[in-house]
A and B are shown apart, each in its own frame.
Chain A
Amino acid sequence: MLIDLTLCVGCNACQAACKQENQLPPNEEKNLSLTAYTALHKYNDLYVRRLCQHCDVPTCVSVCPVGALVKLGDGPVAYDADKCIGCRYCLQACPYHVPKYEWSSTKPRIQKCRFCAPRLAKGQLPACAEACPVGATLFGDRDELLLEAARRLGAEPTKYVPRIYGKDDVGGTSMFYLSPVPFEQLGFDARLGRVPLPMLTMSALSKVPNVLSVGGVVLGGIWWITNRRTEVAAFEAAEKKGETPRPEEKP
């Protein structure tokens, strides 16, 4: 989805539609919560819509030990509560602080935007994109939306800062933002960089097979050498005492 912050008027229709679609209590909420999968943050006269970014290389998917989170082919990062063990690594790791946890439950799950996966499967728009009365949220093919965003930046360079947020942040996301002011002023984390966060872990995890194979050989070797050393020492000691009549070596 392409979210153009210059167009958003803060009517909150996206949240209302989202709540209706997901059968959540219809009260207006200012922050993401268990009952608000999207929310508008106000910065002076700008509204920034928060929701799961549905990253291309999702951090939450990579950290989940049981694969309860998966990235679907058409974009959504989906969650399976039946697999979830409740380790909360996704809450810890998500660079956008998106997943919310049912802390008060004894069988807690996480809650977050589902990108209206059932609607997408039926060929419908996500509820929020359909509800937006001013077209601030556009749904479409990722590449086409990128072209559209680039076209807007090119057509009105004074209106926007020259950046499509989400194009390659943390390896690219399914949400693109266009903004008239630098993104850092709107609560976007400027430190995230372009490398998908799971790469940081993979640099360590990819060494596991090497540690196992090389380590195994080295430890085995050390065992053999030190064992041989004590054997030789024992043999020599015995030899000195004259107890061993030097067997097989001299026939």
Chain B
Amino acid sequence: MKIRLLPRITGWQAISTTLILAGTLAAIARFTYGLGATTNLTDEFPWGLWIGFDFLGIGLAASGFTIVAAVNIFHAKEYEPIVRPAILTAFIGYLLVVLVLIIDLGRPDHFWHPLVMWNPHSVMCEISWCLMLYTSVLSLEFAPIILEKFKITWPIKWIHAISLPLMIVGVLLSTLHQSSFGSLYLIVPNRLHALWYTPLLPVLFFISCIASGIAMILLESLILSRGGRELLSTHLRANLAKIIAITLAVYFVVRVEDLLARGALHELTTLTYYSVAFYTELLVGFVVPFALLLSDRVRTSRLGLYSATLMVLAGFAFNRMNTAITGLEVYPTQTYFPSLIEIFIMLGITALGFTAFSFVVKYLPIFEAVEEAGPRVQQEAATGRPEPIYLTRDDGGMESS
């Protein structure tokens, strides 16, 4: 299997190495010449692509808290096999977002200031704290994986002892900052277009991140399940798809109700720069995948799930970029398009994320959790808990592809 995949991996490696190198050069340029010379950011448009990318990254990393909550707090143990991939995704996602934030800051050398200089009225301050604390939580949730690899067992016991409060804190921190990214824009009612500005921004950001996080982990489980190994059974994948569909429906209803309540629906009756952006985001990311996921055949087919999750993620990206960029543009007098350096840094960091993921997967027990969990399962059985059912084999010929 590995030999067959080798040329393919090398192709990806070439692309990602190029992108990482290009991104590194772009980052060197950014630090040498400053933001003005290397980005298209201006006084009128002080936040651009990188902020949108942060929202996107954090949204995709939302699987870290949803899956952990489902498995370890709600005891949906059947999803245990995707806990580690979800934590890894979240951990990498958060580290990269912190990296982008530091590149984005005008004074990266002052990045630690929010830790010692507080302003409780600032959403940004709350986000800095949540990001920092949650990244710490993720590193503690991730640490056992590394420790297992090197057979250092004593700290694992300590981490296990505090794991429940740790996970609860992680879920709460995620809830807070996922929604706070929306709260960032509560203060610009005069700037953000009515199709995106709403007092419900934090609520909408939170609901949509649940869909995007689960879509991301579902997509991952599809990609990683190639070649005979199945992370999740068709049945469990269909269940996750159902949760996505429900979340999309809730989001759609809240979003449209809110437009209706604010009297902003008339913005959609004509085709403008903004309404086209809005329709794209809502159709691609919410309406069409919802319609697709209603069908049992789509939910049980690999191709169907690939299309639906990719659409959810694309629509999510549109939504975040629209909130961060399109909605703040004054078309056509004051628009923004990222510079090549901004784009290269973003692509480089994306490539870095994928590379880190495949590297970690190769060397650390991410998918072997099923086998490695053996002793713990016995231990749980001894304490009277049921043995979790790990579904490592495919359910059979139910798949269409």
Q: Does A100 contact B (CB under 8 A)?
A: yes
Q: Which residue of B lies closest to A219 (CB)?
A: B168
B110 touching A103, Cβ below 8 Å: no
A200 touching B46, Cβ below 8 Å: no
Q: Does A205 contact B (CB under 8 A)?
A: yes
- Shortest Cβ distance from A226 into chain B, in angstroms? 4
Q: Does A44 contact B (CB under 8 A)?
A: no
- Shortest Cβ distance from B106 into chain A, in angstroms? 2
A198 touching B121, Cβ below 8 Å: yes
Rounded to whole angstroms, the CA-CA distance of A208 and B129 in the bound complex is: 13
Q: Does A240 contact B (CB under 8 A)?
A: no
A103 touching B41, Cβ below 8 Å: yes
Interface residues of B in 152-188 (CB under 8 A from A): 164, 168-169, 171-172, 175-176, 179-180, 183-184, 186-188
Interface residues of A in 154-203 (CB under 8 A from B): 189, 191-192, 197-198, 200-203
> Which residues of A sit under 8 angstroms from B179, Cβ to Cβ?
204
Q: Does A222 contact B (CB under 8 A)?
A: yes
Rounded to whole angstroms, the CA-CA distance of A212 and B176 in the bound complex is: 8
Q: Does B113 contact A (CB under 8 A)?
A: yes
Rounded to whole angstroms, the CA-CA distance of A149 and B66 in the bound complex is: 57
> Which residues of B sit under 8 angstroms from A197, Cβ to Cβ?
187, 189
Stretch of A6-14, A121-129, A135-143, A230-238 at the chain-chain interface = A230-238
Known: A198-B187, A204-B186. Is A65-B122 also a contact (CB below 8 A)? yes
B47 touching A92, Cβ below 8 Å: yes
Rounded to whole angstroms, the CA-CA distance of A221 and B187 in the bound complex is: 35
A92 touching B125, Cβ below 8 Å: no
A85 touching B69, Cβ below 8 Å: no
Q: Does A105 contact B (CB under 8 A)?
A: yes
Q: Does B105 contact A (CB under 8 A)?
A: yes
> Which residues of A sit under 8 angstroms from B110, Cβ to Cβ?
66, 83-86
Chain A, interface residues (CB within 8 Å), range: 35 or more
Q: Does A133 contact B (CB under 8 A)?
A: no
Interface residues of B in 22-47 (CB under 8 A from A): 31-37, 41-44, 46-47
Rounded to whole angstroms, the CA-CA distance of A215 and B36 in the bound complex is: 43
Chain B, interface residues (CB within 8 Å), range: 35 or more
Contact of A83 among B117, B172, B385, B386 (CB under 8 A): B117
B69 touching A219, Cβ below 8 Å: yes
Known: A106-B33, A223-B168. Is A91-B117 also a contact (CB below 8 A)? no
Q: Does A26 contact B (CB under 8 A)?
A: no
| Contact indicator per residue, chain B 214-236, by CB within 8 Å of chain A (1) or not (0) | 00000000000000000000000
> Which residues of B sit under 8 angstroms from A67, Cβ to Cβ?
117-119
Q: Which residue of B lies closest to A84 (CB)?
A: B107
Contact of B36 among A65, A93, A103 (CB under 8 A): A103
Q: Does B397 contact A (CB under 8 A)?
A: no
> Which residues of A sit under 8 angstroms from B73, Cβ to Cβ?
219, 222-223, 226
Q: Does A35 contact B (CB under 8 A)?
A: no
Contact of B172 among A61, A87, A211 (CB under 8 A): A211
Q: Does B199 contact A (CB under 8 A)?
A: yes
> Which residues of B sit under 8 angstroms from A106, Cβ to Cβ?
31-34
Q: Does A15 contact B (CB under 8 A)?
A: no
> Which residues of B sit under 8 angstroms from A100, Cβ to Cβ?
43
> Which residues of B sit under 8 angstroms from A108, Cβ to Cβ?
34-36, 106-107
Rounded to whole angstroms, the CA-CA distance of A88 and B118 in the bound complex is: 17
Contact of B46 among A101, A208, A220 (CB under 8 A): A101
Q: Which residue of B lies closest to A212 (CB)?
A: B172
B47 touching A215, Cβ below 8 Å: no
Q: Does A62 contact B (CB under 8 A)?
A: yes
Contact of B384 among A216, A226, A234 (CB under 8 A): A234
13 more A-B contacts (CB under 8 A) besides A59-B187, A61-B121, A201-B123? A85-B114, A92-B191, A103-B43, A191-B189, A197-B187, A197-B189, A198-B187, A200-B189, A204-B180, A204-B186, A219-B73, A223-B73, A227-B75
Chain A residues in the interface with B (C-beta under 8 A): 59, 61-68, 83-89, 91-93, 95, 97, 99-108, 189, 191-192, 197-198, 200-205, 208, 211-212, 215-216, 219-220, 222-223, 226-227, 229-231, 233-235, 237-238
Chain B residues in the interface with A (C-beta under 8 A): 31-37, 41-44, 46-47, 69, 72-75, 77, 104-108, 110-111, 113-114, 117-128, 164, 168-169, 171-172, 175-176, 179-180, 183-184, 186-191, 199, 202, 384-386
11 contacts between A and B (CB under 8 A): A65-B122, A65-B124, A67-B118, A85-B110, A88-B47, A92-B191, A106-B33, A107-B107, A205-B121, A212-B176, A234-B384
